[in-house]
Structure 1
Amino acid sequence: MFVDAKKDEWEAYLESVVPLLRPGGVLVVDNLLWGVQVPLAAVNEESPDKEVASLLAFNERFVNRPQLQSVILPFADGTGFAVKAE
């Protein structure tokens, strides 16, 4: 399954699509690093804008979701790959 949606709606998409995946199913999510904006916001003490804050929250949930084995790869604008656990 591939997700490329409005950034502030991604957490809702994650909640919707994970139950639809079969064990071993693959989830690909695009634009998780949004250039360098998300990594910079993660180390910057200033408050990120709304879209970057949404991506930071989504990325945290994406990589820590127990049903998924996930990784965010730093190519292009950041691509997340996840496999639903058996």
Structure 2
Amino acid sequence: LYTWSIANKTQFPKDSQIVALLLFIHSRGKGLLKLIRTGEGKTLIVGIAAAFFALCGQAVDVVSSNRDLAIEGEQNVVHFLNY
């Protein structure tokens, strides 16, 4: 994460996002995200978790009920996923 954030001149994830990411990975994604409020970084957490699970050889699907938010979310994490 640190290398990616430096290479892309972006902000490193906040401590709360890293903790949420670790809890999300540990819980295998079972309901944790509904506890994270709007604007607190669910897109980044899901993007990093999706990359982690994919690197572990698991199939990953990210689903959203809102098409516009799904497109925006993809645009926000595509550079990380391509790194």
* TM-score, normalisation: structure 1: 0.36
Larger fraction in helix: 2
Larger fraction in strand: 1
* TM-score, normalisation: structure 2: 0.36
